[in-house]
Chains A and B, each alone.
Chain A
Amino acid sequence: MFTNLTKLDLKDKKCMSDAGSPKLCMKALPGEGAERSCAYDGARVVLMPITDVAHLVHGPIACAGNSWDNRGARSSGSQLYRRGLTTDIMENDVIYGGEAKLKEAILEIAARHNPKAIFVYATCVSSLIGDDVDKICREAEAGLTIPVIAVNCPGFLGDKNIGNRIAGEVLFDRVIGTGVGSDEKIPLSINLIGEYNIAGDLWGVLPDLKNLGITLQTAITGDAKFDDLRSAHRASLNVLICSKSLTNLVRKMEIRYGIPFMEGSFYGIHDTSETLVNIAKALGDPDLVERTLVYVQKKEEETRKTIAEYKKLLENKQAILFTGGVKTWSMVSTLAELGINILAGGTQNSTPEDFQRMKELMDPSAQIIEDTSSAGFLKIIAEKKPDLIVAGGKTKYLAHKTRTPFLDINHGRKLPYAGYQGMVTFAESLTRTVLSPVWGLLKQEFPPKEGELDG
C-alpha cells in the first residue's frame, strides 16, 4: 500500500544507512563505474523543459555539446528551449576570464532569439576561473526587458540531486511570484512538481485533470511557459510528482504563498487513482472528491479491462527494477498490477524516502541492489536470471548483452507511461519487449547440438 512518510518522519524514524540506500548528496566513490551525472546536469534537467526561454551554458563545449536536446522533454509550442546555446569557453577565456564574452552572448540572444527569459548556467570551468555569473546576469538584465537568471550549478558540487535542488531554488527566488497579473489563488488549480513531460507523460495526465475540472497552472517543469511559471504561486495545491530534491521548493512555496503540498505518482493504475483522489481531497471540494471517486473507479475498470490481455501474458514474470525518483517505488506497484514479481530492486538518483517506500512495497524476499556500478549490476543479472529488466537507458545495452529483455523507463524512452492511458502503453511496451521473438533466437545454440535438429 501507499506509505505516507514525509522526509522529516524519515529522518526521525528510519535508518538512513541501509545498504543500497541512495547516498543523497554524498560524494561519488572515485573510480567506481557508476553512471552518475553532475549538479549541472541536474539543474539542466529541471529547467530545460521551460520551452519559451533561452538556456545559455557558460562553459566549455562538453557541457552544452553533450546536453542540448538530449532528453525527450516535449513542447506543445515554442522550440526555443532546444537551441544549443553556449559561450564555448576556450583556453583564452580560462586565462583572461569569460565575463565579457558571456555578457555579449546574453545580449545577442536577447536581441535575436526573442526569449521570454534567459537562464545562464555556470559550469565547473566558469566557476573555477572566477567568472561572476550572477553579476553579469544582473548587468545584462539592467539594459533588457526580460529576466536574465543565473543558475549556479557547477558540476563539481556533486550529484544530479544537488542540481535539481539548485534549479528549484532558482525558480523560487527568481521566477515564481514575479508575474504582473493578479496574485489571487485560482480555485481547483494545481502545479505538478517534477513532471518533465518526458515522451509526453504530462499529456497523458491532462485529460483526466480536465475531465475532473482541475486546472493545471503549470508543470515545474514540463512543457512549461515562463509566464505560467511566474504565476505558479496562484495554484491552490502543489503535487510533487518526482519527489527528488524539489521538496525544498514546495516547502518554501508553502511558507511564502500558503500552498499546501502532497506527493503522488501517475505511474500505474493504483497510484494514478490514489493521486487523483488525494488531489481532490487536498483541494477540499466535497463535490470534486465525489466526482473523482466515481471517475477513478470507472477509469480503473476500463484500464484493467484493456490491460487484462497483457496481464495474462506477463503474469508471474520475474523482474529486476532499477530506476530513480518516484518511479523507484511507483514502478513496484505498477509491475505488481501486471502480475510481475520483483526479484531485486535498486535506485541511484532518488531520495532515501523513495528508497524506503520501494523497500516497503516489495516482497520481503526481493533483494536490494547494493552495488549500483556496472559490475554490481552484471552480478545481480547473473545471479537472478530475470525475465526482464526495467531500468534507465544507461543499463540497456548491458542487459541486451546478457540476453535479458529490457524496458527503458527513464528519459531515453519514446512513449508516455503516465496516467491510465500510459498504463496501457506501458503494458503494451512491456509485453512487446518480453515476448519479442529475438530472445528465443538468442537462446538457440549454434551450431545445434547432435539430435536437436530432429526435435
Chain B
Amino acid sequence: METCIKGSKEWLNSMEYRELNFAREKLVINPAKACQPLGALLCALGIEGCLPFVHGSQGCAAYFRSTLSRHFREPVAAVSDSMTEDSAVFGGQSNLIEGLRNAYAVYKPKVISVFTSCMAEVIGDDIKAYLGNAKEQDAIPQDLAVALSNTPSFKGSHITGYDSTLKSLIECLAKPRQEDTINDRLYVVPGFDTYPSNLREYKRLLKAMDAPFTLLPDNSDVLDAPNLGTYELYPPATSIAEMNEALNAKSYLLLQAYSTPTTSKYLTGKGVTVETIPMPIGLSGTDNFIQAIAKFTGQEVPQEITIERGRAVDAMTDCHQYIHGKRFALFGDPDILLGLVSFLLEMGGEPVHIVCTNSTVPFKKAMEKLLAESPYGQGATLYPGKDLWHLRSLLVTEPVDMLIGDGHGKYAARDANIPLIRVGIPIYDRVNLHRYPIVGYSGVINLVTMIVNTFLDELDRTSTDAYFELMR
C-alpha cells in the first residue's frame, strides 16, 4: 500500500489516523462545547429586568455577547467588571463593587445576575462577601436583588453554567415555600434551549391545555424581539412576581434532565414536586410532554391537540420512505441528542455516530437504553467526551448520509461530502432557524421537512439527466 504523507488530507482520512486520533488525550481539536458563563448568560436573559453581569476578565463578556448576537441576530445585553492584572494580585472586589455601581446607575436593572468567568475563580474571589460590601458601601441599593453563581469555564460546559445560574436566580428571588402559600401553577423549565420558537411552542401548548403555568426562564421575547422601532433593554420575560413565587409552585416540569440537575436537586430539597421528562422532540417525546401536562391539569387532552398530532403523524407517514434506512451522524448537547435520536428511530433512520462532548454517565446510560430498544439503534455508537475532529475521522472512514448538529459541523460535513442539518448553537451561517421549533408536533413537522428536503435538494443537485425529474 502506498503510504501517504502525515498531515496530508489523504492520511487524515485514513483508518490509521482515525486510530491515532482516538488515542489523542491532551488536545482538543474543533471543540463542540461552549463554556459555563455562556449558559449563564442565556439563562439570565430570561428573567424580566435582569442584567447579566460577568465577574471576570473583559474579553469573556465580549465573546459571549458576540456568540449569542450572531446566532440570534439580536442585540445581547451584558456587562463585565473587566478584571485586569492588578485584580489578579489584589482580588476582584473593587472591580465588582465599581462594576455594580456603574451598571446599576446606567442600566437600572430589577435584578442583577452576577456570574464568574475563570479569572475570579482561579484567584478565589469571595463574591458573596464582596456583594455584602458593595451594599454596605451603597454602590447599589440594599434591597436590589443580586444572584450569584460560580461558572468558571474550566469546569462543566454551557449547560452546567445555565443550571447553576438558574438555581442562583431562584434562590435569590423566591420567597420561602410555605404550605399555605402554594400556588396552582406548573413551572416549566425549558433548559439550555436556543430556540425562542421552542419556548413559544411550549407556551402555546400549555395554554391550549388550559394549564396555569410559568415558563422559567423565558428569553423568547429577548432573543427573538419584534421590531417596533425602539430597542428594549428589558423585554418581557419571566416576571419578578413569578420568580418570587417560584418555590410555591404546585409542581415543576423540567424538560432537559442534563442541563438542570442542580436546579432539580435544589427544588426537591425545598419540598417542591419536580418531574423531569425528556425534551419533547419527536412524536413520543411530545406525547410524553402532553400527557405530563394532562396529568397536571387533570383534564383530557383537548381535541385540537389530537388533531395537531394527527397532522404530525400524517407528515411522518408521507415522508417515511425518505428517512427509513438512512444513516445519520449527530453531535450536540445530551438532551437535544436524546430527542433527535428518538425522533430518527421513530422514522426508521439509523443513527451511526453520536458525539457528545459534555456527556455524563447517566446520559450515556439513557442513550444506550434508547438505542438498544429500537432495531434502528443497533448500529449506533456514542462517543462521549469527543470533539468534532474525532467526528471528522468517523465520517470519512465510516460514511453516513447526513450530519445533524450546529454550524461548526460544516467543516467535517464538507470533508465527508455530506449535507449538514443545522440544529443547536451556534448557527451563524443560516437564517431564522431559531424561529422554527424543533419541539412539539410542529417540531416534528419541521424536522421532517428539513431532513427530507435536504436529501431531495442533494438528489436534484447531483442526479444525471436520466434521473432528474419533477416528482420525487
Partner of A401, one of B29, B30, B66, B227: B227
Shortest beta-carbon distance from A402 to chain B in Å: 6
Q: Considering only CB atoms, which chain A residue lies closest to B67 in the complex? A: A66
Partner of B27, one of A65, A66, A104, A157: A104
A interface footprint on B1-40 (CB within 8 Å = 1, 0 otherwise): 0000111100010000100110011111111011101100
Most chain B CB neighbours (cut-off 10 Å) among A100, A102, A373, A394: A394
Q: Considering only CB atoms, which chain A residue lies closest to B33 in the complex? A: A61
Partner of B82, one of A27, A82, A83: A27
CB–CB A155/B58 < 8 A:
yes
- Whether A125 touches B119, Cβ cut-off 8 Å, given contacts A31-B79, A68-B30, A158-B84, is yes
Residues of A with C-beta under 8 A to B67: 66
- Whether A61 touches B35, Cβ cut-off 8 Å, given contacts A67-B63, A442-B229, is yes
Partner of B62, one of A41, A375, A397: A41
Shortest beta-carbon distance from B469 to chain A in Å: 35
B interface footprint on A406-448 (CB within 8 Å = 1, 0 otherwise): 0000001000000000000000000000000000001000000
Does A378 touch B at the CB level, under 8 Å? yes
CB–CB A124/B119 < 8 A:
yes
Distance in angstroms between the alpha carbons of A86 and B28 in the assembled complex: 5
Which residues of chain B (88-120) have a CB below 8 Å from chain A? Answer: 88, 95-96, 98-104, 106-107, 117-119
Distance in angstroms between the alpha carbons of A154 and B85 in the assembled complex: 9
Residues of B with C-beta under 8 A to A394: 65-66, 69
**Stretch from A32-40, A186-194, A240-248 at the B interface:** A32-40
CB–CB B35/A31 < 8 A:
no
Partner of A114, one of B6, B34, B87, B389: B6
Partner of B35, one of A28, A62, A102, A115: A62
Shortest beta-carbon distance from A33 to chain B in Å: 5
Does B303 touch A at the CB level, under 8 Å? no
Residues of A with C-beta under 8 A to B74: 397
Partner of A61, one of B106, B157, B227: B157
Residues of A with C-beta under 8 A to B38: 62, 66
CB–CB B88/A156 < 8 A:
yes
Q: Considering only CB atoms, which chain B residue lies closest to A443 in the complex? A: B229
Does A294 touch B at the CB level, under 8 Å? no
Q: Considering only CB atoms, which chain A residue lies closest to B100 in the complex? A: A31
Q: Considering only CB atoms, which chain A residue lies closest to B28 in the complex? A: A88
Does A112 touch B at the CB level, under 8 Å? yes
Distance in angstroms between the alpha carbons of A90 and B156 in the assembled complex: 8
Shortest beta-carbon distance from B76 to chain A in Å: 8
Residues of B with C-beta under 8 A to A402: 229-231
CB–CB A90/B64 < 8 A:
no
Most chain B CB neighbours (cut-off 10 Å) among A30, A32, A111: A30
Partner of B31, one of A64, A100, A398: A64
CB–CB B225/A113 < 8 A:
no
Distance in angstroms between the alpha carbons of A112 and B84 in the assembled complex: 37
CB–CB B123/A65 < 8 A:
no
Distance in angstroms between the alpha carbons of A155 and B389 in the assembled complex: 27
Does B364 touch A at the CB level, under 8 Å? no
CB–CB A83/B30 < 8 A:
yes
Residues of B with C-beta under 8 A to A91: 154-155
A interface footprint on B223-250 (CB within 8 Å = 1, 0 otherwise): 0010101111000000000000000000
CB–CB A109/B27 < 8 A:
yes
Partner of B6, one of A37, A111, A400: A111
CB–CB A60/B106 < 8 A:
no
CB–CB B107/A403 < 8 A:
no
Residues of B with C-beta under 8 A to A62: 34-35, 37-38, 60, 63, 117-118, 153
CB–CB A29/B5 < 8 A:
no
Q: Considering only CB atoms, which chain B residue lies closest to A56 in the complex? A: B27
CB–CB B153/A61 < 8 A:
yes
Does B77 touch A at the CB level, under 8 Å? yes
- Whether A31 touches B99, Cβ cut-off 8 Å, given contacts A62-B37, A62-B38, A403-B227, is yes
Does B431 touch A at the CB level, under 8 Å? no
Does B75 touch A at the CB level, under 8 Å? yes
CB–CB A85/B27 < 8 A:
yes
Most chain A CB neighbours (cut-off 10 Å) among B17, B33, B102: B102
Partner of B63, one of A66, A83, A86, A157: A66
CB–CB B73/A397 < 8 A:
yes
Distance in angstroms between the alpha carbons of A337 and B102 in the assembled complex: 40
Distance in angstroms between the alpha carbons of A86 and B117 in the assembled complex: 18
Residues of B with C-beta under 8 A to A70: 66
Does B471 touch A at the CB level, under 8 Å? no
CB–CB A31/B30 < 8 A:
no
Which residues of chain A (265-324) have a CB below 8 Å from chain B? Answer: none
Does A350 touch B at the CB level, under 8 Å? no
Which residues of chain A (3-60) have a CB below 8 Å from chain B? Answer: 27-33, 35-41, 56, 60
Does A452 touch B at the CB level, under 8 Å? no
- Whether A90 touches B31, Cβ cut-off 8 Å, given contacts A32-B102, A37-B59, A38-B59, is no
Residues of B with C-beta under 8 A to A155: 57-60, 119
- Whether A125 touches B95, Cβ cut-off 8 Å, given contacts A60-B35, A85-B27, A86-B31, is no
Residues of B with C-beta under 8 A to A41: 59, 62-63
Q: List 7 A-B contacts (CB under 8 A).
A: A30-B96, A35-B65, A60-B152, A61-B157, A62-B63, A84-B29, A155-B119
What would 13 more interface pairs be, CB under 8 Å, given A38-B58, A68-B30, A373-B106?
A31-B99, A32-B103, A33-B78, A37-B59, A38-B62, A66-B38, A85-B29, A89-B154, A112-B20, A124-B122, A128-B122, A397-B69, A403-B229
Pairs of residues from A and B, 5 with the lowest C-beta to C-beta distance, nearest first: A114-B7, A38-B59, A31-B102, A30-B99, A31-B99
